[in-house]
Amino acid sequence: MHIIRSLTLAVLFMALVFAPKTFSQNYTQWSLPEGAKARLGKGRINDIAYSPDSKRLAVASGIGGTWIYDARSGKELNLFMGHTSGVNSAAFSPDGRTIANGGNDGNISLWDVDTGQHKHTLTEATGSVKSVAFSPDGRTIAGGSTSRTIDLWDPVSGEHKGTLKGHAGRVYSVSFSPDGRTLASGSEDNTIRLWDMSTGQYKQTFTGHVNTVRSVVFSRDGRTLASGSWDKTIYLWDVATGARKGTFSGHTGWVKSVVFSRDGRTLVSGSDDGTVRMWDVKTGKNFRTLKGHTGDIVGVSFSPDGKILASGSWDGTIRLRHARTGKHKRTIEGHIHIVSSVSFNPDGKILASGNSDNSICLWDVETHLRKRVLMGHSDDVSSVSFSRDGLILVSSSGSWATQGDNTVRLWDVGTGKRKGTFTGHTSSVYSVSFSPDGRTLASGSSDKTVRVWDVVTRQHEMTLMGHETAVNSVAFSPDALVLASGSQDSTIRLWDLVISEHKRTLRGHTDDVKSVAFSPDGRTLASGSSDHSIRLWDPVSGAHKQTLTGHRFEVESVAFSPDGTILVSGSGDDTIRLWDVKTGAHLRTLRGHANAVYSVSFSPDGQTLVSGSADGTVLLW
């Protein structure tokens, strides 16, 4: 009886250890970095893949891991972490027992799908892995990388089997033929190469694309290869002769993913233009265009049983559709492309994140659930800030890569409805900030100006000019009499808001000033710069007080703790640093984001630190 009981307890223990994480805790607490309390958002979607039995869907994410979903219900089943930067590609082994993840850190990680155990880490030291694929017999993994090569590995032993060289640019896609005898690779050098897998020798090159070949895939019979390119076209190739069999045109953006249907009669493509297109392979006709995504399509995949078509997008969603009709079946949500800005409301119960998928998310800090999504901007949301009473949220739009919609918008936090729109800037608005009394709003823009607005009357009060290039950040002094602006011209300007005049220019940074922030007592101004440093200033005299160094890349954001004793900084080196304001001593470094940290902020009680990152997540510390 004792033996039976012991065996029962052992079985129960193993079941708990290796059970899908859904049953043990909320997914916002899965695989957190040391010191973090929760992860809001699941990261940028980079790739999607079905398991061979069609029951699971893998989503390669910008957080350095791959999410596993129940393909039928859309529920989160597991999260396989292990990479120090984003995962670009995910692939199931033919038997569905192993999943391979290729990351920007140059590694391919292998995991047991059922138990969640890590099996191997395969290292490609010279470049990030952009694509991974299993051979049909499961005995080889191919990884295409930015080193312009394809590495071959034994997935059981982890042994490196060889390197295929010949491309003159980064390799973005690899695909095995159904019989496993041939490997196809698509590259930034605009070519597709075929390789003999029995000898490892180069066989032939397909040319014709005039831009990067982003995706290659064999038809089920192995006779045809499809290639999708950043030149906005899709080509079909005769594998035996190398002749081009067809050209599919119609996308207005880069083609990032192509896949054949199970019967080989249909080819599906996903593009930067936000559409999924279905093509008749025989006639080349685009017989159906699927819309609904609001961002780039980065992955399309048919379920192996041929019933469902999945598409993953930088709008943060995976859409599942009936393969035959294209009818929408289900949407999996929760992913975010890039988090540009984070802000607590005054009572610390709501957190806002401004995202590059044009959205603003309002999060419940206690439950970690998303309360509401605010949509209305037509481009990246660059900055968000709450009013003093927490009833209004302000947002701006724009990024270095886009023009933005040039607007500043006010939102009712309770209803999610837009309360007003401020127009006047002629280019992207990078930063917005409420005055401490909530009556005034300031905005900084790439049009080189700072604009000040009356929140009550919705009127434009003044335009502050003098910066030579874009204004990245604006901040009010605690008494609301002075405004600080940081610019790409490497300077900080202080403005007297009573007389609407320039007071002083602070010089010392040698590159863009990314962020400015006043201490709670107004006696110190902090600035973070692309020169990797943080500078502390006396805003009254303009004197430089000290320089804080340690970050390896640009300092994107700085913020003071509520008591003014600690300064926090977020950087392009993916880290967050805490500093003693009085002594300038480095106190601690927080690691866990898989990409640049764009925004940091303390909760009003100073007990929680929040960070928003280009990896598509918000971390609570």
Residue 22 has pLDDT above 50, yes or no: no
pLDDT for residue 40 is more than 70? yes
Q: Is 200 left (phi over 0), alpha (psi -120 to 50) or beta?
A: left
Distance CA 416, CA 529 (A): 34
> Mean pLDDT over residues 230-250, rounded?
96
Where residue 15 falls among pLDDT bands split at 50, 70, 90?
A: very low
**pLDDT at position 398:** 81
- Give CA–CA dist 381/331, Å, rounded: 23
pLDDT at 110 over 60: yes
Give phi and psi for 11, each to the nearest 5: -60, -40
Residue whose tokens read 């491309």: 167
Q: Is the pLDDT of residue 120 over 60?
A: yes
**CA 457/CA 439 separation, integer angstroms:** 9
Residue 404 has a pLDDT of 66
Q: Give, for 4, the enclosing helix (H) or strand (E).
A: helix 2-18
CB 90 within 8 A of CB 47: yes
Instruction: Tell me what the mean pLDDT of segment 142-151 comes to.
Output: 96
The least confident of 164-173, 187-196, 374-383, 543-552 is 374-383
Q: How confident is the model at residue 127 (pLDDT cuts 50, 70, 90)?
A: confident
Average pLDDT, stretch 300-320?
95
- CA separation for the pair 180, 37 (Å, rounded): 45
Give strand ranges (E) for 223-357: 224-229, 233-238, 244-249, 255-260, 266-271, 276-280, 286-290, 297-302, 308-313, 318-322, 328-332, 339-344, 350-355
Residues 6 or more apart whose CB falls under 8 angstroms from that of 291 comprise 274, 275
- Domains assigned to the chain: 45-332 (2.130.10.10), 339-620 (2.130.10.10)
In this predicted structure, the answer to whether residue 12 has a pLDDT above a threshold of 50 is no
Measured over the CA atoms of residue 180, residue 313, residue 229 and residue 191, the dihedral's sign is: negative
Query: Which pLDDT tens digit goes with each residue over 394-441?
Result: 999 987 666 668 999 999 999 999 999 999 999 999 999 999 999 999
- Is residue 278 over pLDDT 80? yes
What confidence score (pLDDT) does residue 403 get? 63
Report in angstroms the alpha-carbon separations of 227 from 186, 264, 270, 313.
8, 15, 12, 19
pLDDT of residue 20: 47
Residue 338 structure tokens: 């890039």
Contact 558, 587 (CB under 8 A): no
Q: 573 exposed, middle or buried (CB, 10 Å; 0-12, 13-18, 19+)? A: buried
Is the sign of the CA dihedral 206, 209, 210, 211 positive or negative?
Answer: negative
243 CB neighbour count, 10 Å cutoff: 10
pLDDT in tens, 330-379: 999 999 999 999 999 999 999 999 999 899 999 999 999 999 999 999 88
* CA-based nearest residue to 85, from 606, 595, 447: 595
Element (H, E) at 412: strand 408-412
Is the pLDDT assigned to residue 9 strictly greater than 50?
no
Distance between CA 74 and CA 186 in Å, rounded? 31
Determine the Cα–Cα distance for residues 279 and 326; give it in Å rounded to an integer.
12
> What digits encode the pLDDT tens for the residues 437-496?
999 999 999 999 999 999 999 999 999 999 999 999 999 999 999 999 999 999 999 999
Beta bridge partners of 201: 196
Residue 384 has pLDDT above 90, yes or no: yes
Q: What is the DSSP string of 47-109?
A: EEEE-TTSSEEEEEETTSSEEEEETTT--EEEEE---SS-EEEEEE-TTSSEEEEEETTSEEE
pLDDT at position 399 is 72
Among 273, 322, 321, 281, smallest CA distance to 298 is for 273
pLDDT at 5 (0 to 100): 33
Amino acid found at 368: H
For the chain, how many residues are written?
621
Average pLDDT estimate for 143-156: 96
Q: Between 107 and 16, where is the model more confident?
A: 107
pLDDT at position 405, please? 85
524-548: per-residue pLDDT in tens? 999 999 999 999 999 999 999 999 9
pTM, full prediction: 0.91
Q: What's phi and psi for 169, nearest 5 deg?
A: -150, 175
Q: How far apart are CA 264 and CA 268, in angstroms?
A: 11
What's the N-to-C CA distance of the chain in angstroms? 47
Q: Is the pLDDT of residue 217 over 70?
A: yes
